[in-house]
A and B are shown apart, each in its own frame.
Chain A
Amino acid sequence: MPTEILMPALSPTMEEGKLSKWTVKEGDEVAAGDVIAEIETDKATMEVEAVDEGKIAKILVEEGTDAVKVNTPIALLLGEDENESDLEEAPSGDKGSKANGGSAPSAPEPEAKGKEPQKEDEKLGRKDGPVSVLVAMDKAEPPEDPDVPEGTEFEEQTVREALRDAMAEEMRRDGDVFVMGEEVAEYQGAYKVTQGLLDEFGERRVIDTPITEHGFAGLGVGAAFAGLKPIVEFMTFNFAMQAMDQIINSAAKTLYMAGGQMGCPMVFRGPNGAAARVAAQHSQDYAAWYSQIPGLKVIQPHTAADAKGLLKAAIRDPNPVIFLENEILYGQSFPVPKLDDFVLPIGKAKIARKGSDATIVSFGIGMTHALKAAEQLAEQGIDCEVIDLRTLRPLDIETVIRSVKKTNRCVTVEEGWPQNSIGSWIASQLMVKAFDHLDAPVLSVTGKDVPMPYAANLEKLALPSAKEVVEAVRAVSYAD
């Protein structure tokens, strides 16, 4: 049976084109790969190649014909064992094999096409209804923090020491864990977070890199693809912008693009946000940026205990984790439980202060302002509940909603810029999921919408402060 040669498409959007020229005539023998015709659209001219060998038995569309629809038979090809008499068998497009040996391009419809979106949601096990934005990570409640046994001793540790202990413990536990970055080994860490690791683990596992973020982030991704568990330290996350393509396109997306075959079990960590007087290029909060990316988990702890428990969890997690630290917090001390293996759940917010009048939601260094403001507000008779998100993706919005159902008011605090901030996402989620419980619009206290200035007074003005949080809470409480 003759094979139909079909009008090809030059692009997925092409519907028709001009068959401008035949470079073969009836009776010609062609081999696979031979150019047989040229077709033209308003954008380009392309050559059509034969895919099978045989004889051009009949040209069905003359050259110069305009507006030939894609997939129209344009010629008939006779195979080796066929002759002219076979031609009569295939006069229409329904009979005879297509150029491809298969039937025409009738891609099966996705099963759920045409169904109502709400039903689709139910099928996916989601009960949010059609109006809410579906998020891949919305699912059952995250586990609670493990109980710290009664009588457990606590020791005062800086965030810096807690982070180092977390890495050291995980490196002792798993030989596939290693740390690499600028100045992490011999210099003992630009901010001394990796202090002592080289001595204990040696240069095979504690690796000084050249100052090439794009390259070593990508190298870390490759090592993780191979099954190792790299901890890639960025001297600060400002420099990770050079590595953004590897973080997002390679680390975050590969599991999905590989249909689950291979993921990227690694941690990117380092200080994030403003330090002190280092100006615009070295003072940016990336929390909102990374929190937008499906495939990444994003953590930004405040206390030393959370830093330790969550970094250990991040290193064990089989997904790429962005672990945002803060230079100013490195030196601050908090009680850390003295336990052999203190691991906290990723994706669980913590109520840092119980209260009933208004909810303040923050994370990282923003918690400093939030807690300070809560103290001042308590003196003014407003009893605030303060929630430390700890993880920004997956975001524990349920804990926030539960609190807001009690307080009916919410203020968010972060160092990043206002547009598309973590606060604006929380506000939108509260509007969707707790609209009837809100007695006031959600207010967000953020960094100002300017690059970070150098001058001491201007820098102070650019950053959020406890004073601003107090004002915002008083505003949502209609206290003034």
Chain B
Amino acid sequence: MAAAKTPSQTGTGQRRSRSRSQNSSAKTRGKANENGNPPVGATAERPNTETAEKSAFDPIVFSKDEDLKAYREMLLVRRFEEKAGQLYGMGLIGGFCHLYIGQEAVVVGMQMALKEGDQVTTTYRDHGHMLATGMDPKGVMAELTGRRSGYSHGKGGSMHMFSREKNFFGGHGIVGASVPIGTGLAFANRYRENDCVSITYFGDGAANQGQVYESFNMAKLWSLPVIYVIENNQYGMGTSVARASATTELCKRGESFDIPGHQVDGMDVRAVKAAGDFAAEHARSGKGPMILEMLTYRYRGHSMSDPAKYRSKEEVQKMRTEHDAIEQVKKRLMESHGMSEDDVKAVDKEIRGVVNQAAEFAQNDPEPDPSELWTDVYVEA
């Protein structure tokens, strides 16, 4: 498969600038393989090593509208999650609750690269995905509080929510289980000969699951239009990637199947969008699956009851102050797009209003009727 690495491909110790990696893939196409796949991991390196270039995708330039859209959507996810954390603290949300705070750029950037009809599926850290696909914050929050107007009428909870209307296929509680399912959605696209793409998100922890590789194999074998987005937030619950994974460049996990993979700066929504555009074009044009490893970070613990003692406060603080996805966009809005602090504050206030309304709704909505216990076990034949 991919050509052996040459010194020029392994990074030079400094962040290189490159015009879109489509060019790089085109350049290496002849050499790499016959499928037009760029050499897997050719430009990919790990953070926290001597390597430098983090992403195969340079950020593309966003218009003011794009930056504003990204800002609004990422902020919605963050404020929503903060509110969910608070409601959890008040005992209004039960069970497990995995917050997406810190990772917002991944799902928002990917969603900006999709088109109507593309499907999304993910694991249990799923609130951000639901909001980004356009699901109603009220319905999501009401599901978190276990109320009747929740997306699953209170029967799914944080980890199990779906929206046929928005093509969000869950919300799956079992690590790795969403990967064959997302691959099956791609299979359905191929079967129906439409040009839709299935975006299958999973974490660095799930990347070691057997069913992931069974899926990779079939996806490549049958050229299924699926983008595997590995959200590498550096920790599978409390275990760092290095302590759990024999090889830590997760974008290379498709090598045995000849699935191209790229590492992406998942804290920069523009880089994510660029990678998403590239992968979606690849999948839509019949070239099959692609892996995007998003280097990201979750600021909170694995779930609400995780004090996150396995990493230092300094590590978290450094990510928050130096790489925060929302702050980056906010800075651009003010410095490049001519928005004033008041303009930005007005957006903040609007988003806060949306989230407060959702929280208010989710607390006042009644619990499901007891008869709801017996519904939705079977579809009436």
Contact = CB atoms under 8 A, between A and B. Distances in A.
Interface of A: 6, 8-12, 32-33, 43-46, 48-49, 51-52, 70-71, 98-105, 107-112, 120, 123-124, 136-137, 178, 204, 209-210, 212, 214-228, 245-246, 249-250, 254-263, 265, 294-295, 297, 316-319, 346
Contact of B169 (A51, A107, A262): A262
A107 to B, nearest CB: 7
B27 to A, nearest CB: 33
B378 A210 contact: no
21 contacts: A9-B90, A10-B89, A12-B95, A45-B307, A51-B82, A71-B91, A101-B356, A102-B364, A104-B90, A109-B367, A120-B370, A123-B370, A218-B183, A218-B184, A219-B215, A220-B184, A223-B188, A258-B152, A258-B156, A260-B379, A261-B151
Nearest 7 A-B pairs (CB), nearest first?
A: A222-B184, A218-B180, A215-B214, A8-B89, A226-B188, A212-B214, A259-B152
A338 to B, nearest CB: 25
B86 A51 contact: yes
A109 B174 CA distance: 31
Contacts of B301: 46
Contacts of B381: 316-319, 346
Given A102-B363, A215-B211, A222-B182, A259 B86 contact: no
B338 interface: no
Interface centre among B91, B186, B188, B218 (most CB of A within 10 A): B91
A51 B83 contact: yes
Interface in B148-169: 150-156, 160-164, 169
A202 to B, nearest CB: 12
A12 B170 CA distance: 24
B371 to A, nearest CB: 6
A218 B179 contact: yes
Contact of B376 (A51, A245, A260): A260
Contact of A6 (B89, B94, B198, B375): B89
Contacts of B352: 52
B217 interface: yes
B336 interface: no
A214 B175 CA distance: 13
A46 B360 CA distance: 25
Interface in B56-98: 78-79, 82-83, 85-92, 94-95
A142 B179 CA distance: 38
B328 to A, nearest CB: 16
Contact of A221 (B180, B218, B380): B180
A176 B367 CA distance: 38
B214 A259 contact: no
A228 B188 contact: yes
Interface of B: 78-79, 82-83, 85-92, 94-95, 101, 119, 121, 145-146, 150-156, 160-164, 169-174, 177, 179-189, 191, 198, 210-211, 213-215, 217-218, 221, 299, 301, 304-307, 352, 356, 359-360, 363-364, 366-371, 374-381
Nearest to B167: A226
A254 B170 contact: yes
A103 B362 CA distance: 12
Contacts of A227: 188
A109 B161 CA distance: 23
B185 A223 contact: yes
Contacts of B181: 218-219, 221-222, 225, 246, 250
Contacts of A44: 305-307
Contacts of B92: 105, 107
Given A70-B91, A254-B162, 12 more contacts: A8-B90, A9-B91, A32-B82, A43-B305, A46-B301, A46-B307, A48-B89, A102-B359, A212-B214, A218-B184, A228-B187, A316-B381
B218 A212 contact: yes
B188 A262 contact: no
Contact of B160 (A109, A214, A258): A258
A100 B146 CA distance: 17
A259 B150 contact: yes
Contacts of B366: 108
Contacts of A261: 151-152, 162-164
A313 to B, nearest CB: 8
Given A11-B305, A101-B356, A222 B177 contact: no
A439 B364 CA distance: 56
> Looking at chain A's contact residues, is the secondary structure mostly helix, strand, loop, or mixed?
loop
A71 to B, nearest CB: 6
Interface centre among A8, A214, A219, A254 (most CB of B within 10 A): A219
A255 B179 contact: no
A73 to B, nearest CB: 12
A263 B376 CA distance: 9
A10 B164 CA distance: 33
B214 A49 contact: no
A105 B215 CA distance: 43
A254 B87 CA distance: 26
A140 to B, nearest CB: 12
B180 A246 contact: yes
Contacts of B170: 254, 257-258
Contacts of B91: 9, 12, 70-71, 105
A53 B92 CA distance: 22
Given A101-B360, A319-B379, A49 B85 contact: yes
A102 to B, nearest CB: 5
Contact of B86 (A100, A137, A217): A100
Given A49-B82, A102-B359, A105-B90, A224 B184 contact: yes
B97 to A, nearest CB: 10
Interface centre among A32, A209, A295 (most CB of B within 10 A): A32
B169 A222 contact: yes
A123 B367 contact: no
Interface centre among A45, A109, A256, A257 (most CB of B within 10 A): A257
A9 B89 contact: yes
Contact of B156 (A48, A217, A223, A257): A257
A76 B381 CA distance: 56
Contact of A222 (B164, B180, B377): B180
Nearest to A260: B376
Contacts of B121: 222
B184 A221 contact: yes
A255 B86 CA distance: 29
Given A204-B191, A295-B378, A99 B86 contact: yes
Interface centre among A104, A224, A256 (most CB of B within 10 A): A256
B369 A255 contact: no
Nearest to A297: B378
A130 to B, nearest CB: 15
Nearest to A8: B89
Contacts of B363: 100, 102-103, 105
Given A12-B91, A255-B379, A260-B375, A222 B183 contact: yes
Contact of B214 (A43, A99, A214, A316): A214
Nearest to A264: B379
Contacts of A254: 160, 162, 170
A32 B181 CA distance: 36
Contacts of A102: 359-360, 363-364
Contacts of A33: 78, 82, 101, 299
A229 B301 CA distance: 40
A224 B155 CA distance: 21
Nearest to A217: B180
Contacts of A225: 169, 181, 184-185
